[in-house]
Structure 1
Amino acid sequence: MIMAIRTSCAYVGFFVFLLCITSTKFYSYKYNVTWNQMANRKPDFRCIWSVVDNKTKCKPVCDHGYFGLYGMKTCHQWLNCTDIKSIKGFEKIQTDTIGYVKKVWISKWDGYEVVVKKIRQNLNGPTSHDEFHSGVQFLQDFSNHPDVLQIVGHCNETLVTELHAMADATNLEKHLRQNKEFDNVFVRFQLCIDFVRIMTTLHSGHGGKVFAHCDAGNVNIMLQQYLLTDDFRLVISDVDSLLGFDIRDGVSQKRMCPFKSDRNYFQPFNAPEQYFNHKLKTFPYDEKIDIWKIPNICDRLLYRNSIKRGVLPHLTALHKRCESSDPKGRPTALEVLKIYEYTYKILKKDSQIY
């Protein structure tokens, strides 16, 4: 059973005054629901205000093995090979970031825009192929989780997912310049909270493992692995290189990310224990390598000094703990999340901070 956070937003006037009312509901993923049963059920819907389409749009919240895209009235089974072969009209995604492992296009299925990803041929060794299929499995395991990119279907070395038109989080400043009413402390700090909440999901464990990022050599590479939704929230999308740490007796077992010639870990963004140098002996680590990165990521998401001055003083002690040279001295992702959420409440009470 996975907890999904549903948010409804009301907008007043031409300039947006955002009032978010959050309610919590539990969705049970039932694996024995048939297609006919699913088609006859009335699904719950998640609705957002889309800055891309300038309107409210909704999609059904579906069980495992099914997907729902914005505009759909009912859930549909994951697309199979026959369905995917029938997809026509491939448009290359225009982005400054180019995937090394996958080629990516925007296409349409049954009139709905989707993203088609195909692994690059004759470019990567077995490790990249294994990571691709590991990523597909992860998206299946966390299907329809609100923090994870929704899978639409897959076939061999082709993956189909939902589309988020604003692309990855490195595009944040461009989209905020185009939507100035959203460029405020609340939207930006909510993105920090989203990042840590997703990390909490990864570190909470699934299938006897917790997960951490391997392919995150700097801030930009990390942000490229997250997509901006139409309502300025984050979902994790590039999960191919997540490393699973086995859990034994409630403790994650240390290991190292697989070696790749293009994968380097530079300080100060990466934790000391993850720092990679061919001339130095490296030691195994655990998911606390992610905690070290939190201050740098949040600093980038806040971006403007006027906003940083209002937020970062509240987080000085916490961020210092995140960057402890001893991994055991770092807080858990859940601890960081609770402090971030508490800080957000404080900021909401102070209308002078922007």
Structure 2
Amino acid sequence: MIQIMARRTNTFKLCFLLIASLAFIGYQLLLKSSVCPRLPAGGQGVRQLDPGVVDKHQLNDTDTKCSPGHFQLNNDGICHPMLTCKDIQDNVTSIKEIGVGLIKKVHLARWKTYQVSLVKLSHSSFNNYFLSAAKMLQQSQGSPFVTQLLGFCPSSSTPAMVTEYHRFGSLKNINSILKENGKDNGATRFRLCLDYVKIINFLHSSPTGTRVMCDSSYLKKTLSQFLVTSDLHIVLNDVDVLPVVDSSKRILTNCGHYQVVGNFAAPEQLWPYAGVKFNESQMPGYDEKTDIWKIPAVVDYLLGRNVYGDLVRFILSKFHKKCHSKDPKLRPTAAEVLKEYLAVQQILNVTEQSGLIF
């Protein structure tokens, strides 16, 4: 019996390696062909990709149905004007607190017949951070990659925001979310990976400059910055700390007032002076390539443990090594990462349609 099981295991491994090899060969050919979508020079975001690769997470209903200064909820076709201070004070009712952070606290609330998120300042000493986050959210509206802002009140005493409520909550709970909704499969998980890469590309080519995800020193913290939508896509929700960088002008950043440790963060984020006590003022700056270093680890988590995920890991293994180059300059750009992932998506679609993987 043990010998039979061993033979079956070996057969499975051989089949997997055969499928992976065929997929990898197809993937390499795809990269060299004109079929692979080309991103515009300068990495100006996924919105300029060929129509054939646009999906609902690249252009959503709010982009086409509602004019600036308006929003739509639940794809119901109704465009509402942005909520004013009076609207928020008189018509948004808190139901319960669902999250508390250093800068803000979040309440599940109700506006008319809709469930929304009411975001308030946690402590007056963080007022500037709160207002900065609100401004960043305002500047990012119209993008399907960022949570939708419904209203903002910059009151000096009690500033507040109202944002779209996503009942599934944080991306850090993705394993239980997928299982509870019967969607725990490789295809859904890879789509989440692709969403994540699209968001990083959006941040690195945003209208307000190249933005770095500073609140991402470890995996769970990074995942907590995103929310899962009802159609199992992801959006960036926490925009509190997204500094602008420009390495060509030596405009760099230094994330946080504490020492970063561990393998998840990029090497340049670690304190470089052994035997010397950490001092923020002496910490060298860095750019957006720190986000690129973290992509393989985030993707590995999102893929889960399944044949589909193993195939993706195999195909992307060589490319992910580039993402982990110790020299930031040798890492690919976010636009190059997105191009690679879109190529993988195409070969996986072909493989899946052929019935080779599920």
The answer, yes or no, to whether TM exceeds 0.5 is yes
**TM superposition shift of 1:270:** 0.7
Match of 2:136 among 135, 138, 142: 138
CA distance in 2, matches of 1:275, 1:205: 26
Partner SS state of residue 174, structure 2? helix
Match of 1:270 among 265, 273, 276: 265
Matches within 5 A, 1:1-354: 22=54, 45=61, 61-70=65-74, 72-94=76-98, 98-121=100-123, 125=125, 128-156=126-154, 157-180=159-182, 182-207=183-208, 209-246=209-246, 251=248, 253-257=250-254, 259-260=256-257, 263-276=258-271, 278-279=277-278, 281-351=282-352, 352-354=356-358
> Relative to structure 1, is the Cα distance of residues 220 and 291 closer, same or farther in structure 2, using a 3 angstrom cutoff?
same
CA distance in 1, matches of 2:220, 2:98: 17
> Relative to structure 1, is the Cα distance of residues 326 and 3 closer, same or farther in structure 2, using a 3 angstrom cutoff?
closer
Partner SS state of residue 114, structure 1? strand
> Relative to structure 1, is the Cα distance of residues 63 and 218 closer, same or farther in structure 2, using a 3 angstrom cutoff?
same
> Relative to structure 1, is the Cα distance of residues 258 and 285 closer, same or farther in structure 2, using a 3 angstrom cutoff?
closer
**TM superposition shift of 1:94:** 4.4
> Relative to structure 1, is the Cα distance of residues 147 and 106 closer, same or farther in structure 2, using a 3 angstrom cutoff?
same
CA distance in 1, matches of 2:94, 2:80: 22
**TM superposition shift of 1:144:** 2.4
CA distance in 2, matches of 1:190, 1:24: 12
CA distance in 1, matches of 2:128, 2:93: 28
Contact (CA 8 Å) 1:226, 1:234: kept in 2 or not? yes
Partner SS state of residue 287, structure 2? coil
CA distance in 2, matches of 1:193, 1:314: 15
CA deviation string 1:212-249 (max 9, x = no partner): 111111111001001101111111010011111258xx
Structure 1's unaligned 5+ residue stretches are 6-19, 28-43, 47-58
> Relative to structure 1, is the Cα distance of residues 4 and 337 closer, same or farther in structure 2, using a 3 angstrom cutoff?
closer
Contact (CA 8 Å) 2:45, 2:202: kept in 1 or not? no
Partner SS state of residue 92, structure 1? strand
**TM superposition shift of 1:264:** 4.5
CA deviation string 1:52-95 (max 9, x = no partner): xxxxxxx9742322111115433222111100101343123546
Partner SS state of residue 350, structure 1? helix
Partner SS state of residue 331, structure 1? coil
Give the number of equivalent residue pairs.
300
1:223 counterpart letter in structure 2: L
2:203 counterpart letter in structure 1: L
CA distance in 2, matches of 1:331, 1:144: 27
2:250 counterpart letter in structure 1: Q
Identity %: 34
**TM superposition shift of 1:305:** 4.5
**TM superposition shift of 1:190:** 0.9
**TM superposition shift of 1:142:** 1.3
Structure 2's unaligned 5+ residue stretches are 1-43
Contact (CA 8 Å) 2:145, 2:235: kept in 1 or not? yes
> Relative to structure 1, is the Cα distance of residues 308 and 264 closer, same or farther in structure 2, using a 3 angstrom cutoff?
farther
> Relative to structure 1, is the Cα distance of residues 282 and 320 closer, same or farther in structure 2, using a 3 angstrom cutoff?
same
CA distance in 1, matches of 2:345, 2:189: 11
> Relative to structure 1, is the Cα distance of residues 253 and 63 closer, same or farther in structure 2, using a 3 angstrom cutoff?
farther
CA distance in 2, matches of 1:218, 1:301: 15
2:340 counterpart letter in structure 1: I
> Relative to structure 1, is the Cα distance of residues 119 and 112 closer, same or farther in structure 2, using a 3 angstrom cutoff?
same
CA distance in 1, matches of 2:175, 2:55: 29
Partner SS state of residue 242, structure 1? coil
> Relative to structure 1, is the Cα distance of residues 353 and 271 closer, same or farther in structure 2, using a 3 angstrom cutoff?
same
Q: Which has the higher contact order (CA 8 A, sep 6+)?
A: 2
> For structure 1, which segment, 263-272 or 311-320, has the greater mean C-alpha deviation from structure 2 after superposition?
263-272
From the two aligned structures, give the one with the greater helix fraction: 2
Contact (CA 8 Å) 1:105, 1:117: kept in 2 or not? yes
2:333 counterpart letter in structure 1: T
Q: CA RMSD in A?
A: 2.9
> Relative to structure 1, is the Cα distance of residues 342 and 301 closer, same or farther in structure 2, using a 3 angstrom cutoff?
same
**TM superposition shift of 1:258:** 5.4
2:143 counterpart letter in structure 1: H
**TM superposition shift of 1:101:** 1.6
TM-score normalised per structure 1: 0.77
**TM superposition shift of 1:117:** 0.5
1:106 counterpart letter in structure 2: L
Contact (CA 8 Å) 2:254, 2:283: kept in 1 or not? no
Contact (CA 8 Å) 2:45, 2:335: kept in 1 or not? no
